Amino acid sequence: MTKSQKTVYQKLDQLRKNLPLNPTVEIQDLKIIAFSDHHRGQNDHADDFRICKAAYHAALGYYLTAGYSLYLLGDVEELWECRPKNVINTYRDTLDLEKQFAVQERYQRIWGNHDDHWRYPGEVNRLLGDFISAQENSSSVPEAHAITVTDNSEPIGEILFVHGHQGTLESDRFSWLSRYLVRYIWRPLQRLTKIKPPTPARDFNLRLEQEIALHGWANQRKGLVLISGHTHHTVFMSVSHEQALEREIESLKTKLEKLKNPAEKTKVLEAVSEKSAQLNWVLAKSNGIAFHISEDKKPCYFNTGCCSFADGDITGIEIENGFIRLVRWPDDDGKPRKKILRENPLREVFAQCQ
């Protein structure tokens, strides 16, 4: 274990230890959509969310009507680059839409490194109070949230929601310096050049190191499922989406080699081509990097991806009807519908995480 990984473990242990008593929810009653990393700015060239706004509003409309709880896992507002009031004024309509979940007590927000301004209850009450005031203890945005999941009243596991920056050098321990550099150096430069600052969302070494640490920590905790954001990189059951597509392609190629019927071979070859297109589509969004871990690890780590992809797509983790899913908005045709990228029974996930 590296020194940086050890620091991540220590921070997560401390965070989990200091959480209040977990609420208990029956597995069939869980109905959650978790999004993160919107990075809402002020509608300029440095605003990564503006191109994703339509997809996000469509998703919120669906999940609100369908009875889901909305979980926002940090970096919702880009407060390293922008003043809070500017962001709130720019995206008041988005906040009003999110507020409808709060009014129905189906809303949970935690803070990340880029919106760590919300760690201060007074600032939350002053600036966000109008949008989350329907919630009990609305002046508090925690750093993490956990749920104990039961099946027929018997505990079967725990889900821990964090942003995922905990323990990192640039995003946690020296976040004050990173915030200064982003706001006063990188943001003016980005306005002129559209160059992005180095973050775990864009830097291979930062991303890989943090994801290995997050998975490694969860892998050592019995019955725990960790759901985070921060890296902007979708991970489902400790396997990245691109890694899952690679496995599907190899399986189809193996099947293709055994086929004799020309019509069947043509059909499978078309499936290989389609999966290859999907793989390269995903790799393009993740800077060409696939996250790989050992095959014998628990399927305990999930990552929402982000709501600020450059092509306007958003991804999230959905839990409903006993299943956990990785979803994308819009669908393959660009319609305001979700695309289920991967799914698995949540009971099976917990069983493998014991």
| Measured distance CA(338)–CA(237) in Å, rounded | 20
Output the pLDDT for position 283. 79
Query: For a pLDDT cut of 70, what percent of the chain falls above it?
Result: 84
| Measured distance CA(344)–CA(323) in Å, rounded | 6
State the pTM of this model: 0.87
Give the contacts of 81 (CB within 8 A, at least 6 positions apart).
41, 46, 182, 183, 186, 187
Whether the per-residue pLDDT at 171 is higher than 50: the answer is: no
pLDDT in tens, 111-160: 999 999 999 999 999 999 889 865 454 568 999 999 999 999 999 999 99
Task: Select the more confidently predicted residue: 242 or 156.
Answer: 156
Whether the per-residue pLDDT at 97 is higher than 60: the answer is: yes
pLDDT in tens, 57-96: 999 999 999 999 999 999 999 999 899 999 999 999 999 9
Which value, to the nearest 10 degrees, does the dihedral of the CA atoms of residues 320, 321, 327, 331 take? Answer: -120
Q: Residue 6 corresponds to which tokens in the numbers above?
A: 């050890």
Of 19-23, 285-289, 329-333, the poorest mean pLDDT is in: 285-289
DSSP lists the bridge partners of residue 107 as 70
Number of Cβ within 10 Å of residue 29's Cβ equals 10
Dihedral sign from CA coordinates of 343, 348, 352, 354: positive
- pLDDT band for 195, please (50, 70, 90 cuts): low
- According to DSSP, residue 117 is labeled G
All domains of the chain in start order, with CATH: 3-238+293-352 (3.60.21.10), 244-291 (no CATH)
Whether the per-residue pLDDT at 292 is higher than 80: the answer is: no
What region does 322 belong to: left with phi over 0, alpha with psi -120 to 50, or beta? left
Output the pLDDT for position 241. 83
Strands of 323-329's sheet, edge to edge? 107-110, 69-73, 31-35, 314-320, 323-329, 339-345
